[in-house]
Amino acid sequence: MKTFVSKNKDNLITYGIVVVAYAVMEILIKAGLISSLMQGLLVPLCAYVILAVSLNLTVGILGELSLGHAGFMCVGAFTSAFFSKITMNVITVTWIRFTLAIVIGFIAAGLIGFLIGMPVLRLKGDYLAIVTLAFGEIIKNVINVLYIGKDSKGLHFSMKDAVALNLEPEGDVIINGAQGITGTPKNSTFTIGVILILITLFIVLNLIKSRDGRAIMSIRDNVIAAESVGINITKYKLLAFALSAALAGVAGVLYSHNLSSLMATPKNFGYNMSIMILVFVVLGGIGNIRGSIISAVILTLLPELLRGLSNYRMLIYAIVLIAMMLFNWAPKAQAFRDRLLDKLMFWKKKKVTVTEKEGGASDER
């Protein structure tokens, strides 16, 4: 039986797992046991973990389905990369600039999440899902036609092409439409990624176990009852949704500062990415933060580990995904698992009693 007092201890275990995994990874890297390909995957991996944890805040804690999470990541990625690019020569201390970039990504994505959430959180279920998907696609498409340049007169904007920016000859195109941003400083490291994971966990886990968290979960469990005890539904839905978006923005900052060339493609910021994050959340257990971390790690590494199987790896991934969903969720499979578990428990009990007897006997011997 799950109790709630143990939640504090539970949280410590979650932090512990992250720290230990980080330490093990660092040792393996130092020992030269990790391929450079795998090392290149570590920062995106951290970003995916943050995305999964933050999406779980919307899906698991608030209980609303969002398919636009990659859009918020996109906002964080581009605003922060833009900031880093234009301040590269102004703020020369890297850690200060990068910290500011993270804050900017957080605020920008959170703000967009707030603005989108205000009108759409009235919708429910699949309607909300399709609308968030739509917003995610809109964000991606708009960024693809956005041109921003800088010259001595300041910033220039256009939605047409780089020429329309009317830059002075020495001016610089910073966001170049579909070509995106090039030359973002590569500030993201595995260590920073893990620190950001820990901060995300700290925020999310502390929020869940607080007055606000209870209000959010009460909306998930029963909106009408929550209203009847005076919970401000709009406020807490927005809080959860905007915070979830803001943290996705942080993941975007991490992601964009790991690439020298940042483009908004369907692959990295499209609905397929949002869906992939949702898969992490659902497979890890809806509402289970630790599960999100673990499934994000496994599902990101799985295709890489299967790389030897070349073309078959995504096929296997798909089959594993379907099989796991059926095994985890089909009522028949659940019943089967319960029976199996009962049997195992029974054997265990039997075994325990037997070994006790044997133990007693051996004492005498």
Partner 1 sequence: MSFISYLINGISLGSVYAIIALGYTMVYGIAKMLNFAHGDVIMFGSYAVFTIVSTLSLPTWLGMLVSIILCTVLGITIEAVAYRPLRQASSSLAVLITAIGVSYLLQNVALLIFGANTKSFSSVVSMAPLKLADGGLTITGETIVTISCCIVIMIVLTLFVNKTKAGQAMLAVSEDKGAAQLMGINVNGTISLTFAIGSALAAVAGMLLCSAYPALTPYTGSMPGIKAFVAAVFGGIGSIPGAFIGGIILGIIEIFSKAYISSQLSDAIVFLVLIIVLLVKPTGILGKKIQEKV
Partner 2 sequence: MKDNNHVLEVNNLSISFGGLRAVDDFNVTIDKGELYGLIGPNGAGKTTAFNLLTGVYKPDEGIIKLDGKDITGKSTIEINKAGIARTFQNIRLFKDLSVLDNVKVGLHNLYEYSTIASVFRLPKYYRVEKEMDEKAYSLLKVFDLDSSAKLKASQLPYGKQRKLEIARALATNPKLLLLDEPAAGMNPNETKELMDTISFIRKEFDMTILLIEHDMKLVSGICERLTVLNFGRILAEGNTAEVLNNPEVITAYLGE
Q: What is the DSSP letter of 67?
A: S
Window of 18-26, 85-93, 224-232, 320-328 that interacts with partner 2 by CB under 8 A = 224-232
Give the count of beta carbons closer than 10 Å to the beta carbon of residue 174. 21
**Minimum distance, C-beta of residue 63 to partner 2, in the bound complex (Å):** 9
Number of residues that bind partner 2 (CB under 8 A): 32
Cβ–Cβ < 8 Å for 243, 57: yes
Among 42, 47, 146, 239, the residue binding partner 2 under the rule CB under 8 A is 239
Helix (H, G, I), strand (E, B) or coil at 33: coil
Mark the segment that binds partner 2 (CB under 8 A) among 99-107, 143-151, 215-223, 263-271: 215-223
Binding to partner 1 by residue 332, rule CB under 8 A?
yes
Out of partner 1, partner 2, none, which partner does residue 354 contact, by CB within 5 to 8 A per kind? none
Which region, judged by CB under 8 A, interacts with partner 1, from 15-23, 73-81, 118-126, 345-353?
118-126
Check residue 62 for interaction with partner 2 (CB under 8 A): no
- Please report how many Cα atoms fall inside a 13 Å half-sphere around the Cα of residue 230, on the Cβ side: 0
Q: State how far Cα 294 lies from the chain centre.
A: 12
48 to 41, 196, 317, 358: CA distances (angstroms): 10, 12, 17, 50
Query: What count of Cα atoms within 13 Å lies in the side-chain half-sphere of residue 184?
Result: 30
Q: Considering the rule CB under 8 A, would residue 333 count as an interface residue with partner 1?
A: yes
What is the contact mask toward partner 2 in residues 1 to 40, using x (rule: CB under 8 A)? xxxxx-----------------------------------
237 binds partner 2 (CB under 8 A): no
According to CB under 8 A, which one of 6, 94, 210, 328 is a site residue for partner 1? Answer: 328
Q: Determine the Cα–Cα distance for residues 147 and 173; give it in Å rounded to an integer.
A: 7
Helix H segments across the chain?
A: 7-30, 36-56, 69-87, 94-120, 125-144, 190-208, 211-221, 223-228, 233-256, 266-269, 271-284, 289-305, 313-329, 331-364
CB of 303 to partner 1, least distance (A): 11
Q: Binders of partner 1 among 272-291, rule CB under 8 A?
A: 275, 278-279, 282-283, 286
224 secondary structure, DSSP code: H
Minimum separation from the CB atom of position 122 to partner 1 (A): 7
Cα 267 to Cα 165: distance, rounded to the nearest angstrom = 28
Q: Does 291 bind partner 2 (CB under 8 A)?
A: no
- Assess contact for 106 and 249: CB atoms under 8 A: yes
74 binds partner 1 (CB under 8 A): no
Cβ proximity to partner 1, 133 vs 250, nearer residue:
133
- Report the interface residues with partner 1, using CB under 8 A: 59, 65, 119-120, 122-123, 125-127, 129-131, 133-135, 137-138, 141-142, 144-145, 159, 178, 224, 271, 275, 278-279, 282-283, 286, 311-312, 314-315, 317-319, 321-322, 325-326, 328-333
